[in-house]
Amino acid sequence: MVVPHHPEKPMAYALGYLGGYVDLAEVAGAAGVEFYGAQPVGALAFIVPLLRRWGLRELIDELHPTGSPVSHGQIVEILIANRLTDPEALYRIVDWAKAYDTQRWFGVAAAALTDDRIGETLDVVGPDMDGLHAQWSAQVIAGCGVSLRQIYYDLTSLLFYTKEDTPEKDAHAEPPAVRVVRGHSRDHRPELRQVVVGASAAADGLLPLLHQTHDGNTADTPTVLDHLAEMKKQFGKLLGVEEVLVAGDSKLLSVDVMQTLMAPSKPGTAEVRMDFIAPSTRSGHWAKRLAAAVAARGRGEWVAAAYQSVRTQLELEVVQPRRAAPFVAPVYEVWESEAVLKNKKGVRVTVREVFVYDSGKAAQDRGLRERALAAVEQALAKLRPKLGKYKYKTKAAIAEKVKQILNKQPLAKRYLSVSVRRRRGAWEIVVRGQEPALAQAAQEDGIYSLLTSKSAVAMDGNAVLCAFKDETRVERRWAEFKGPLRVRPVFVRTPVRIVALVGIIMMAMVLWAAVERQCRQGEARWKGRTLKPITAQQIWRRFKHFGGQVVQLVDKAGKVLQQYFVLNALSYAQEQVLSWLGLGEADIGAVLVGTG
C-alpha cells in the first residue's frame, strides 16, 4: 500500500521527516497501514505558516526571553491560533490544544498549557502589549506592502461580566494597568462593566496598526490624545511614515485634539505629520454656519460630487439589470467654507469645513420627520374622544398628557404648536404647524459637514467626501474583533492580564485582516474588479472541515514501525486561498517538520 505525496491523494508528513512517496516495500517489516485518529486542522494550515513568515514568536522571545521549555512567543502564537480557529474555546484551551494537537503545530504539548503557564506569559507581555502590537503590525505591513497614506481611528468597548469594579489601587498601592468599571456604553449595555479600546487601522485592508486599552469610564478626548501621541511616535519610528491622513468620527474633533493634530512636529524628531477628516460636532455657531451653507445652495454655489457607495454600484451594475423599476442613485453635492472653533479655555482653531448634501440622507431625514408628525397626530386623535371624561376633565390634566405625547416624539416637537382650550363647553386640542420651521427643516434635510486640516489644493471636496465615507468600513472590523470574551478567571484575575488578552486578540485581528487583504488582491488578479470581494469569514469557512489523520506503518505483529501525519487532499478552493497567500504544501510541511 502507498501513502503518496501526490496531487490526487493525501500529503504524507513524517514526524521529523518530510517524505515524498512512502512505500511499504521501502520500510523493512512493514505489513500494513493503520489510520489512527482524525484530527482537525482548519485554518491552521495557513495561520501557522504566516505566523512563521512574519516572525511573531521571534519578536516576543527576543524582547522576553525565558528559561522555560515553552517560550512566551509560543504561548502567544497558540492563543492567537485559538482565537482564529475556535474563539469561544478560550476558557478551555487545553481541550482545544488536544483536539488540534499543538505539539504538532507549535511544538507545545497540550498538558503544558496550564493556567499558571499562560498567566505567566500574560503577566510578562501585558505591560508592553501596545508596543508589541505596533512592532508586529510593522513586520506584517512590510511583508504585505500595506499603504499607510490613510488610516481610521475609532473607540470601542469590551464588556466584562464581573461583579465589582477594579480597585483604584493594587496591592502595592499603584494604579492598575486598566480598570474594569462602568462607563459610557457604546454597546448600550450600561449595566455591564467595560474597558475602552482606542485603535487605528490602515484604510488599505483595514489592518489594525496600533491600540491602547483604557479604563472603562475614561472620557473620549483623553483616549484620543494618548493614542495620537503614541501614533506619532510609533509611525515615524517603526513604519517610516512622514505624513498620514486620519479619518474618524466626531470624537476626533474636540479643539484639543484638532490643535494636537495640527501642531508642527518637534525639530529633530521622527514624528509623523497628521491631517484629519471627521464629521462636525455641530458646535461653535453651527446654526449660523449651516444657514450660510443653505443660502449658498439656494444661490447654486454647491458643486456635484462623484462619490458612489459600493451598495449603489451593486444596484446599478448587478441588481438593476434584473429589475423593471429604475434605481435612482443618491446625489451628492459639496460646498466649502471655514469654521472657527474654540473650547472653554478660549483656545481657537480654524479649519476647513466641507458641507455635504446627500439626497439619500435627505429622504431619510424627511421620512423621520413625517413619521414623527404622523405619530403625534395619531396619538392626539386617540386622546380627543376622551376629553372631558375619565382623568382628562381639567385643562392641566389634558395639557400634561399632550406634553407626554410630544416628549415621545422630540423630532416633531419643534415643528408643532399645541394648545388646549375650552369652546362651547367642551375641551379642544388645537394643533398648528410651525411653517417657517418646517420650511427651514426641508432646506436642511440631507446636509452635514466635515472638518479637515487638508488644504483644498491637496484634497478637493469630492476627495474629502470619499475619504470620510470609506471610514464607516472600519466598524465591520471592530465588530469582528469584539466577539464574546468567554474567559476563565486566570485571564481576568489581574488588570495586566486583561490588557494582555485584549492585545493578543488585536494581534489576531492583524493576521485576520492581512489574510483577507492578500486574498482579495489575489481574487482581483484572477477575475478582475469585483463589487463583492471575498471576506475573511468566507476564507475561514473554506477550511472549516479541513483536517488530517495519523497514519501508522505496522508489522505483522501489529508493532508500529513509523508514524506519519496525513493531511486530507486540498480542495480547489483551499488551494486557491493558499496560492493567494503565497503558500504551498511545502510551507505546511516545513511547519510540521520543524515542530515534529
Q: How confident is the model at residue 392 (pLDDT cuts 50, 70, 90)?
A: confident
How does residue 29 score in pLDDT terms, banded at 50, 70 and 90?
A: low
CB contact burial 473-488 (16+ within 10 A = b; e otherwise): ebeebbebbbeebebe
At position 283, the amino acid (one-letter code) is: S
pLDDT in tens, 201-221: 998 988 998 888 888 888 877
Q: Which of 236, 197, 240 is nearest to 215 (CA)?
A: 197
Task: Give CA–CA dist 436/372, Å, rounded.
Answer: 18
% of residues, the chain, pLDDT over 70: 88
Give the predicted TM-score (pTM) of the model: 0.84
Q: What is the mean pLDDT of residues 532-557?
A: 86
The dihedrals phi and psi of 62, each to the nearest 5 degrees, come to: -70, -40
Mean predicted confidence (pLDDT) in 298-308: 91
For 245-295, what is each residue's pLDDT tens digit?
888 887 777 888 888 777 776 666 666 788 889 888 877 788 899 999 999
pLDDT-derived band at 10 (thresholds 50, 70, 90) equals very low
Among 13-27, 79-93, 331-345, 349-363, which stretch is predicted with the lowest mean pLDDT?
Answer: 13-27
Distance CA 498, CA 505 (A): 11
How many whole angstroms separate alpha carbon 280 and alpha carbon 254? 10
Per-residue pLDDT at 539 exceeds 90: yes
User: Which pLDDT value is given to residue 175?
Assistant: 84
The pLDDT of residue 237 is above 70: yes
DSSP secondary-structure letter at 284? S
Question: Contact, 508 vs 133, CB < 8 A?
Answer: no
Which amino acid is present at 173? A
Q: How confident is the model at residue 186 (pLDDT cuts 50, 70, 90)?
A: confident
Q: What is the pLDDT of residue 23?
A: 57
Most confident of 203-212, 215-224, 481-490, 547-556: 203-212
Q: What percent of the chain has pLDDT over 90?
A: 28
CA–CA dist 433, 436 (Å, integer): 9
Q: Please name the residues in contact with 224: beta carbons below 8 A apart, sequence gap of 6 or more.
A: 153, 155, 198, 251, 252, 254, 257
* Of residues 37, 54, 59, the one with CA closest to residue 104: 37
Per-residue burial over 168-205, b = 16 or more CB atoms within 10 Å of its CB, e = otherwise: eeeeeeeebbbbbbebeeeeeeeebbbbbbbbbbbbbb
- Residues in contact with 458: Cβ distance below 8 Å, sequence separation at least 6, in sequence order: none
Longest dimension (CA), the chain: 114
Nearest-angstrom CA–CA distance, 388 and 394: 7
Q: At what angle do helices 495-527 and 129-144 cross, to 10 degrees?
A: 10
Task: Report which of 12, 570, 13, 16 is spatially closest to residue 4, judged by C-alpha positions.
Answer: 12
CA 478 to chain centroid, in Å, comes to 2
β-strands 447-452, 273-279: how paired? Answer: antiparallel
- The residue among 384, 414, 422 whose CA lies nearest residue 401 is 384
pLDDT value, residue 16: 32
> Taking all residues of the chain, what is their mean pLDDT, rounded to a whole number?
83
Residue 9 has what pLDDT? Answer: 39
Please tell me the least confidently modeled range out of 1-15, 118-132, 206-220: 1-15
Checking if the pLDDT of 296 tops 70, the result is yes
- Assess whether pLDDT exceeds 80 at residue 18: no
pLDDT in tens, 509-523: 999 999 999 999 999
Q: Which residue has the higher pLDDT, 471 or 526?
A: 526
What local confidence, expressed as pLDDT, does residue 558 receive? 74
- Least Cα distance to 405 among 389, 433, 382, 430 occurs for 382
User: What number is the average pLDDT over the span 95-123?
Assistant: 90
* Residues near 87 by beta carbon (within 8 Å), at least 6 away in sequence: 483, 484
Q: What is the pLDDT of residues 356-384, one digit of tens each?
A: 999 999 999 999 999 999 999 999 999 98
pLDDT at 130: 84
